């Protein structure tokens, strides 16, 4: 039997390391169990970059992103390195108007630009005449793998224990606490925080919490401009949803960028999925890049990753007795990582979260057996 802890955090990706950091900073005796290694690329938190944006379809998320931005700056100050780099963000197409309306409803600024103004500011971006585009200046890029490692490092500095290569086989609610079994070891604590991404569903079911969480197989393909210049993040609503193209530059390598199609992959088992990219989707993003960017070439190939999807694409941030559920994110959560860590810590400690959580309850209608349409 392992030493007693106040909290067991299961899963050491973006959300798990964020929660461990905040809980340890609040004086909790925390152990974080990671089935692989911190910074691995088998789940949802690997790779060099993720998008940050205030631009969202609903004012609730815009306000959350504003709060998250402050949390990012505090994390950077504590970690002593740049983790979120501002590039500005472009939303393209008339289908982006609800996003513009949500920004305005939340009191945020944006500016519509004609195509020639976009090309003047970003010579590598090509827009057809008449393309509707707006810029939100605080869009940017999260340095993803660096962030996960930084959060883990800060958590350790605050006294957290992090155990890598420690796969959780089962989590059971016992009395007023939880028991977590790994190979050769048993951990007990009053509370567990489940931030296991695509592995969360089976663990939660063991604890009597059955949620319709569906992992999907996603991928991103990398390119580089022949004539390097800075780029913004881009969400291209001019293409038919739900597989909306998005573009994330690497601000530390001007002219380098990745392109992906949001929620374009099939459901998969996290333990049995392939790591080989889908050639059809590689072709689609390559063709898209040809129309949207100046001369460029492939760079670094294609990375694969996993989303963990809910039917309504909202997060799950909730406490069910001794279990805190940490954000199956439907592919859009990384930008909120330090903020989600704070929310999860509030749920553990009994503090009031900084936002209302009704939208993210595990008991909401979209997650009930008689009220869901499970993807795939």
Give 332's contacts (C-beta < 8 A, 6+ positions apart).
313
How many angstroms separate the CA atoms of 44 and 336, rounded?
Answer: 14
What's the confidence (pLDDT) of residue 5?
96
Query: What's the chain's length in residues?
Result: 376
Distances (CA, A) of 143 to 50, 135, 222, 329: 7, 21, 15, 18
Residue 320 region by backbone torsions, left for phi larger than 0, else alpha for psi between -120 and 50, else beta: beta
Paired tokens of 242? 């739900």
| 194 bridge partner residues | 10, 325
Q: What is the pLDDT of residues 241-275, one digit of tens each?
A: 668 999 999 999 999 999 999 999 999 999 999 99
The answer to whether residue 373 scores a pLDDT higher than 70 is no
Paired tokens of 83: 């983790």
Tokens of 236: 């291209």
User: Sorting pLDDT into bands at 50, 70 and 90, what band is 372?
Assistant: very low
Please state, in angstroms and rounded to a whole number, the distance separating the CA atoms of residues 120 and 287: 23
Higher pLDDT, 344 or 176: 344
Distance (Å, rounded) from C-alpha 51 to C-alpha 212?
A: 26
Give per-residue pLDDT as tens, 51-97: 999 999 999 999 999 999 999 999 999 999 999 999 999 999 999 99
CB 20 within 8 A of CB 191: no
Rounded Cα distance, 211 and 164, in Å: 26
Reference 146, options 223, 226, 39; nearest CA is 39
Flag whether pLDDT at 98 surpasses 90.
yes
Order of strands, sheet of 185-189, starting from the edge strand that comes earlier in the sequence:
168-174, 177-182, 185-189
Residue 51: name the closest of 136, 121, 139 by CA.
139
* pLDDT tens per residue across span 122-173: 999 999 999 999 999 999 999 999 999 999 999 999 999 999 999 999 999 9
């Amino acid at each position: 039997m392992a030493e007693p802890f106040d909290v067991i955090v299961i899963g050491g990706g973006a959300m798990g390391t964020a929660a461990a950091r905040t809980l340890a900073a609040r004086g909790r005796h925390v152990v974080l169990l990671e089935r692989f290694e911190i910074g691995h690329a088998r789940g949802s938190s690997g790779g060099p970059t993720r998008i940050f944006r205030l631009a969202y379809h609903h004012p609730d998320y815009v306000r959350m992103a504003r709060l998250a931005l402050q949390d990012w700056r505090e994390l950077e100050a504590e970690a002593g390195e740049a983790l979120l780099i501002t590039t500005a963000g472009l939303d393209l197409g008339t289908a982006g108007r609800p996003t513009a309306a949500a920004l305005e409803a939340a009191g945020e600024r944006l500016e519509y630009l004609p195509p020639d103004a976009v090309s003047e500011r970003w010579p590598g971006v090509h827009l057809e005449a008449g393309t509707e585009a707006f810029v939100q200046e605080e869009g940017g890029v999260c340095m993803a793998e660096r962030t996960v490692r930084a959060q883990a490092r800060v958590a350790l500095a605050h006294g957290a224990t992090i155990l890598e290569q420690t796969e959780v086989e089962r989590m059971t609610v016992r009395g007023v606490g939880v028991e977590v079994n790994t190979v050769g070891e048993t951990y007990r604590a009053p509370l567990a925080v489940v931030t296991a991404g695509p592995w969360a569903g089976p663990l939660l079911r063991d604890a009597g919490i059955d949620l319709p969480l569906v992992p999907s197989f996603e991928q991103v393909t990398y390119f580089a401009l022949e004539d390097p210049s800075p780029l913004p993040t881009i969400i291209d609503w001019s293409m038919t949803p739900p597989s909306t193209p998005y573009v994330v530059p690497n601000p530390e390598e001007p002219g380098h960028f990745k392109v992906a199609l949001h929620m374009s992959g099939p459901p998969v088992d996290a333990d049995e999925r392939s790591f080989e990219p889908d050639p059809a989707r590689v072709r689609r993003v390559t063709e898209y890049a040809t129309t949207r960017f100046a001369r460029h070439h492939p760079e670094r190939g294609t990375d694969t990753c996993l989303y963990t999807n809910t039917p309504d694409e909202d997060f799950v941030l909730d406490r069910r007795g001794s279990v805190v559920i940490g954000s199956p994110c439907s592919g859009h959560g990384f930008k909120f990582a330090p903020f989600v860590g704070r929310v999860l810590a509030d749920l553990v400690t009994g503090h009031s979260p900084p936002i209302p959580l009704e939208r993210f309850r595990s008991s909401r209608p979209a997650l009930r057996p008689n009220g869901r349409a499970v993807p795939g």
